[in-house]
Structure 1
């Protein structure tokens, strides 16, 4: 990785943390510059506009989801364990009382470019399709139980995890996330 790529990644890392803490509208390039120790012109060099930065954040987050899903898939064939590992992805930012990038960007949807909105929808679609596939496979294998179709269950699970992040963040209490997540997984486990 060259110096130019390293700086772009550092900017993205910093911007992601700021979005997860403050929302997309809650920071400016000056905030990033101050944290990274560069001038705002350097940020504009890599990301000419904040919309470009937002689109790059979502694209990188989507790539990370693909990598995480592949890691989960290769790590176990047990669908309940796959769901536990998925829950862990959503638990990770809660440790620092942040939410996932998608949740925070959704709260600022009105200010995102149409392209960023489409990319965000695609990210959520990937999550939902992956969950639906795992849920249906688990039900067919007899290891998971739930009523209704797998797509509706995937929506419920994703919405509950996102809500659990918000509650844990609001109360600054990761146990609230864990309680909700454990309840979701227990309800799906075949007795």
Structure 2
């Protein structure tokens, strides 16, 4: 691992546990065991560091969404896999990066505010596209508003992360997501 990638990994962890405003280069230097000057060499500004974290995260995140689309043909399975990403990110006592950033929107520089909005749009676009596919395939109820459903799913998963984080308990998949899925499914015909 290079110092730069170590910095990004550790800084992402700090961003998702302490938040943007609360973490400093001193925290980062202590965690990695290098001098603050070395961090400034790689990332002259905290904003630049945060942008690099979000860009790296977004790259991995978009890849994960592509993998989900490639691996699962069923929309319910895709939505389940999407929800699992939130459960996994919550396991280490971390908030999802987009949620951690959104919680501090007012403290963020303009560039990061825009990236945070883009990040949520990526979630919603993916959800809306898959909901539309599920409706077209007859897997999901056709009469439901896909835009609203995408919002409800994202609200539930992000909100579930915050509630689990605040209560310091296990992020429970039954935080309402299964309940939503049951409401979306087209009922099996009775024989």
**Residues 146-167 of structure 1: CA distance to partner in whole angstroms, max 9, x if unpaired?**
7542112111111111000011
More helix by share: 1
Q: What pairs with 1:59-78 in structure 2 (closer than 5 Å)?
A: 59-78=55-74
Query: Which residue of structure 1 lines up, in the alignment, with residue 34 of structure 2?
Result: 38
Gaps of 5+ in 2: none
Cα 1:99–1:139, aligned 2, differ >3 Å: closer, same or farther?
same
- Please provide the CA RMSD for this pair: 1.5
Secondary structure of the structure 2 residue equivalent to 1:52 = helix
**1:185 to partner: Cα distance:** 2.4
**1:19 to partner: Cα distance:** 1.2
Q: For this pair of structures, how many residues does the alignment match?
A: 187
Residue of 91, 96, 103 corresponding to 2:92: 96
Query: Which residue of structure 1 lines up, in the alignment, with residue 176 of structure 2?
Result: 180
Q: What pairs with 1:126-141 in structure 2 (closer than 5 Å)?
A: 126-141=122-137
Residue of 108, 111, 122 corresponding to 1:112: 108
Establish whether residue 167 from structure 1 lines up as the match of residue 163 from structure 2: yes
Gaps of 5+ in 1: none
Structure 1: 4+ residue segments shifted above 6 A: none
Query: Which residue of structure 1 lines up, in the alignment, with residue 138 of structure 2?
Result: 142
Establish whether residue 86 from structure 1 lines up as the match of residue 87 from structure 2: no
**Residues 132-188 of structure 1: CA distance to partner in whole angstroms, max 9, x if unpaired?**
000111011111127542112111111111000011111222254433222222222
Cα 1:174–1:77, aligned 2, differ >3 Å: closer, same or farther?
same
